[in-house]
Amino acid sequence: MTESVRLPLIALAGNPNSGKTALFNALTGSRQKVANYPGVTVERREGRLSTSSGKGLRVLDLPGVYSLDPQSPDEEVTRDVLLKRLPSEDAPEALVVVVDATALERSLALVLELKPVFPRMVVALNMADLAKARGQELDLQALSKGLGVPVVCTVATRGQGIIELLAEVERALEASPRAAAVAAAEPDHSVAAISARFAEVDRILKASRRHELAPSFWTERLDRVVVHPLWGSLLLGVVLAAVFEAVFTWAGPLQDLVDALFAWLGESATAWLPAGPLQSLIVDGIIAGVGGVVIFLPQIVLLFLFILLMEDSGYMARAAFLMDRIMGRVGLHGRAFIPLLSSFACAIPGIMATRTIENRRERMATMMVAPLMTCSARLPVYALLIAAFIPNRKVLGPFGLQGLTMFGLYALGVVSAMAVAWTLRLTALKGPQPHLLLELPTYKLPAWRNVLMGLAQRSWMFVRRAGTIILSLSIVIWFLASYPKSPEGAPGPAIQYSYAGRIGHAVEPVFRPIGFDWRISTGLIPGFAAREVMVGALATVYAVEAEDEEKLQTALGDRLAGSWSLATALALLIWYVFAPQCLSTLAVARRETNSWAWTGFMLFYLTALAYVGAFIAYQGAVLLGWG
């Protein structure tokens, strides 16, 4: 048992948007560990700190709740930790309830609900500066007396009140004996009990509030435009277009840097190691495989940056509110907009972001369609095939045929996702029309410290995945494509004799009706690990020599244009709109749905859509004489 395990554990609880995570960041700084709670995929954030008296503490940031009557998997975790129902978790020895000083009525009801369950409690009255700016004046002593627990004013984003808060926590830890810290009684959720708690909150506030809170000046004025059905929707369209433009254009130079880094690594390894199987494993397997995925890191970081900025400023809740009308028509929840937007970068964070959707059926429907959003891993395949087969000429004013084809592939993904969600909500995931009950927080300037820490954590999760799953798959794919070796003097590329080549030949009859020969079938097999691997796999199959990505794409494109028909290229493009060719997505879907059946269904329906779509595209193109 390490020293950190023995340190007393304090938990942070509070309503969503109360500034809990900002307080956690202010308390622990960079000494944080992000993982998941055992058995579920709810994020678990624990950090360490030292008080001014030198006492070490562990801090647990619990998911936000409105009460201990959970409505989502995140809220269930908070209830289970506080009621000691998670055997793998240490029981917290003290609880800090973070209260939004600008929303006292709702926040204090949670304090009163938690108090009998957790008597060793301190209330952090957060965003005290915003409440003061809006004219609220509080008698802290009266508030503390009314609640029966110590109350400390904090401004977490500026680190104010942290020392006073920790002093109160230390006092609470010393005052009551450890055994009395957790009563672990089930709170009363009856209507009468809830009404009584709110009546008590009114009584306490009457006794402690000297000046009422004025409405937020900026929030009211901004919301007249931002949540307006017409102007708000137009603004959302502009914001989303700007985000996409930034993600695709700003990321370019950074992606070139990553590409150059991996090219340098490959060249260095080639120079350092003599030619042979180990050099091939490191250069063609590991560096090419991992580099092919890490190249999308800049796009993912930028997308997360915009998502975090929208969340922190309070705009994301408004966007979900506006999108609810469109999403509701296909049976999806307004909150599904955020995961589906994230899926344009990568379906993995998209599927993980569905945790905010409370209803299981709506959450499941969103997860099932998230892989249909065109993720950035499809771009290399689209770019290769469009450049090779679609003529570069203007057709609609300034719009070129190549750009329109790319747009059409994105649109096909979105339309299919909506159609699948609608079908699922009418059949397997049938249920009442979703209702959106959403708190619209006041607008705030994003706290850069929080945004950067959130960005660093999410980026690290992506890099860690690349370092584990993608690294492992790259090694396995290299093995399948390299062994057994071709007999000496055998004609054709060596991959034809490998396990991957043999599998390609074996499955060729299945893919022949959609226009794929054994070479494409061979490329599809490693492409099942990650879509973009297909480009490298095709290059290997066609035995193209290339030094860098651009040269590789040009040379390969010419080769493909000479060997495939337009019908085959169109079929492969349609295949990639639908095909679930990403093992990481399937692995995350398995974890998030906690069901092999739903993961199997996702794999099956996406493969079936891909096959049928590619079949129609190929046979239709042949009929038109493009075969």
Positions in the binding site for other proteins (CB under 8 A): 35-39, 44, 88, 273-274, 276-281, 472, 475-476, 478-479
For other proteins, which is the closer residue by CB, 35 or 445? Answer: 35
| Smallest distance, other proteins to C-beta of residue 502, A | 17
Q: Which is nearer to other proteins, 299 or 482 (CB)?
A: 482
Of the pair 284, 312, the CB lying nearest other proteins is at 284
Helix (H, G, I), strand (E, B) or coil at 99: strand
Residue placing its CB nearer to other proteins in the complex, 169 or 586: 586
CB 522, min distance to other proteins, A: 19
Tell me how far the alpha carbon of residue 287 is from its chain's centroid: 25
CA atoms of 225 and 309, how far apart (whole Å)? 19
Query: Shortest approach of other proteins to residue 27 CB, angstroms?
Result: 20
Of 50, 52, 69, 58, which is closest to residue 12 (Cα–Cα)? 58
CB of 479 to other proteins, least distance (A): 5
Q: How far is the CB of 277 from other proteins (least distance, A)?
A: 4
Give 89 or 259: the residue with its C-beta nearer to other proteins: 89
Sheet containing 43-50: which strands, arranged edge to edge? 32-36, 43-50, 56-61, 9-14, 94-100, 121-126, 151-153
The contacts of residue 57 (CB under 8 Å, 6+ apart) are: 7, 8, 9, 10, 48, 49, 50, 51, 166, 169
The percent of the chain in helix, strand and coil, each rounded to the nearest 5, is 65, 10, 25
Q: Give the integer Cα–Cα distance in Å for 42 and 183.
A: 25
What is the smallest separation between the CB atom of 450 and other proteins, expressed in angstroms? 23
The kind and range of the H/E element at 394 are strand 394-396
**Residue 192 structure tokens:** 């009468």
Nearer to other proteins, 276 or 391 (CB): 276
Longest dimension (CA), the chain: 93
CA atoms within 13 A on the CB side of 489: 0
Token duo for residue 624: 């038109």
Across 421-575, the runs of DSSP E, i.e. the strands, are none
Residue 233 Cβ vs other proteins, minimum distance, rounded to whole Å: 39
Per the listing, tokens 């942290």 go with 162
Give the residue with the Cβ less far from other proteins, 108 or 466.
466
Cβ nearer to other proteins, comparing 263 with 273: 273
Q: Closest separation between CB of residue 500 and other proteins, Å?
A: 14
